[in-house]
Amino acid sequence: MSELADLLRQGSLTAKEIMAQIGVSQATLSRRLAEQSDVRKIGRGKSTRYALLRPVGGESEFPLYRIDTQGHAEQIGSIVSIWPAESCAFETADGQCALFDGLPWFITDMRPQGFLGRAWGRDVSALLALPEDIKLWNESQTLLALSRHGNETVGNLIVGQAAYQQWALKPDESAVAWRGKISAFEDLAQKSLAGKRWALRQGGNSQSLAFLSSIRRSQLPTF
């Protein structure tokens, strides 16, 4: 490992900090950075820093997409896995950057949790050789799972190109007729109790159970 990479394993640094610590000129640093394919420039202007990439499942950069209420996708930035271990940077499309000790806080809701999350985790763990129990997943394992199979998570964000492609290629869901809404919901409930996953669909709000919204009030229990 090079002197530069060894230094950046401890955390990202500005060019000025790197030059001071390894005692090189700006020209020498520029040459070394050009030769170091695993060093990533993050941020712009005075906030520019250099970080050592930390591959997760063979990737270090994970595009982040936002799905609006009309079902349109927009890439709003990228999550970059960097050293030290479990750290990430989030860089927006216009070059703004934020550093995190783990996954960015704004994708917390995407983490698998609860009954359905555990069922999803069991399926994904078999595909990615992860621990079956999602409580044992570290930040990198969670990022890997979301980026490969996180196209049906809570909220309106999708992490990673693979998950985005799964979402984009998924057939549109057909509407459930009013008379079939209750039986459809009962079917989903039975699948959940059996430990089977059923699809969520990103789109601004939690729309996976939107078909329940038109059930007549007379059919809803009162307390």
Q: What is the pLDDT of residue 75?
A: 97
Residues 20 and 85 in one domain: no
Residues 111 and 175 in one domain: yes
Burial letters for 77-106: b for 16+ Cβ neighbours within 10 Å, e otherwise? bbbbbbbeebbbbbbeeeeebbbbeebbee
Residues 36 and 103 in one domain: no
Instruction: Give the structural domain span for 15.
Output: 3-52
Residues 94 and 121 in one domain: yes
Residues 40 and 146 in one domain: no
Residues 67 and 171 in one domain: yes
- pLDDT digits over 138-154, tens only? 999 999 999 999 988 88
Q: Sheet with 73-82: list strands edge to edge.
A: 97-100, 87-92, 73-82, 61-67, 157-159
More confident residue, 19 or 70: 19
DSSP 51-78: EEB--BTTBSEEEEEEE-TTS-EEEEEE
Q: What is the pLDDT of residue 203?
A: 39
Residues 28 and 137 in one domain: no
Residues 185 and 103 in one domain: yes
- Which residue in 75, 85, 73, 2 sits closest to 37, CA to CA? 2
Q: pTM (2 decimals)?
A: 0.79
Q: Total domain count for the chain?
A: 2
Length of the chain: 223
Model confidence band, residue 195 (pLDDT cutoffs 50, 70, 90): low
Based on its alpha-carbon atoms, the radius of gyration of the chain, rounded to whole angstroms, reads 22
Residues 150 and 48 in one domain: no
Q: What is the pLDDT of residue 178?
A: 66
Give the CATH number for residue 34: 1.10.10.10
Q: State phi, psi for 153 to the nearest 5 degrees.
A: -100, 175
Distance of CA 77 to the CA centre of its chain: 11
- At residue 215, does pLDDT exceed 90? no
- pLDDT digits over 12-22, tens only? 999 999 999 99
Q: What is the pLDDT of residue 194?
A: 63
Model confidence band, residue 23 (pLDDT cutoffs 50, 70, 90): very high
